[in-house]
Structure 1
Amino acid sequence: MEKALWYLFAGSRGGANRVRIVKELADQPRNANELADELDLNYNTIDHHLDMLEEHNVVEPSDHDYGKLYFLTDQFEQHSDTFETISEKVS
């Protein structure tokens, strides 16, 4: 998981926006539209980043298709210290 976090947040383009998304989701679950509004990013950009984060088991969606909420996974939460270290370097 730690390698995936370094890749997602520090080793690939868009890492800074993914850090911002994760920080928003740490405060409370949100859907893609809410994230786009809160972070002042295009919906398609948010959707792309959420897909990547889901693929690497950082976020998981609710069961609803319309307005689906995203949550941080338990696996990610276990590596929150690594995330904090990475996010300090990216910010």
Structure 2
Amino acid sequence: MEKALWYLLVGTRGGKNRVRIIRSIDERPRNANQLAEAIDVDYNTVRHHLEMLVEHNVLEKGGEGYGAMYFLTDQFEHNRETFENVTEHMEET
């Protein structure tokens, strides 16, 4: 998970938006449209980031279609400290 977080948040464009998505879902589960509104990012951009976060087991999708909700995975929860360390590093650079 540590390598995936470094890649997703620091190694690629869009890391800051992915952090915003993770923090928003940490507040409460949301669907893609709710996330787009919450972080003020285009819906299609949010969908792209969600796909990346699901692919790397940071988020899991509950349900199908437009209303599918996104949740933090147990694996992410076990690595929350790593997430905080990576985001601290992002703020320093």
Give the whole-Å Cα distance in 2 for the aligned partners of 1:66 and 1:18: 20
- 1:39 is aligned to 39
Secondary structure at the aligned position of 2:11 is classed as coil
Give the whole-Å Cα distance in 2 for the aligned partners of 1:88 and 1:19: 11
- 1:78 is aligned to 78
**Superposed displacement of residue 87, structure 1:** 1.2
Give the whole-Å Cα distance in 2 for the aligned partners of 1:90 and 1:64: 33
**Superposed displacement of residue 63, structure 1:** 2.0
Give the whole-Å Cα distance in 2 for the aligned partners of 1:18 and 1:72: 12
Q: Alpha-carbon deviations, 1:4-56, whole Å to 9, x = none?
A: 11100111110010000000011100000011001110000000000000000
Secondary structure at the aligned position of 1:10 is classed as helix
CA root-mean-square deviation: 0.9
Secondary structure at the aligned position of 2:83 is classed as helix
Percent identity reads 57
Give the whole-Å Cα distance in 2 for the aligned partners of 1:35 and 1:89: 24
Gap regions ≥5 residues in structure 1: none
76-85 vs 61-70, which deviates more?
61-70
> More helix per residue: 1 or 2?
2
Gap regions ≥5 residues in structure 2: none
TM-score by length of structure 1 reads: 0.95
Give the whole-Å Cα distance in 1 for the aligned partners of 2:90 and 2:34: 23
TM-score by length of structure 2 reads: 0.93
The answer as to 2:68 corresponding to 1:68 is yes
**Superposed displacement of residue 70, structure 1:** 0.1
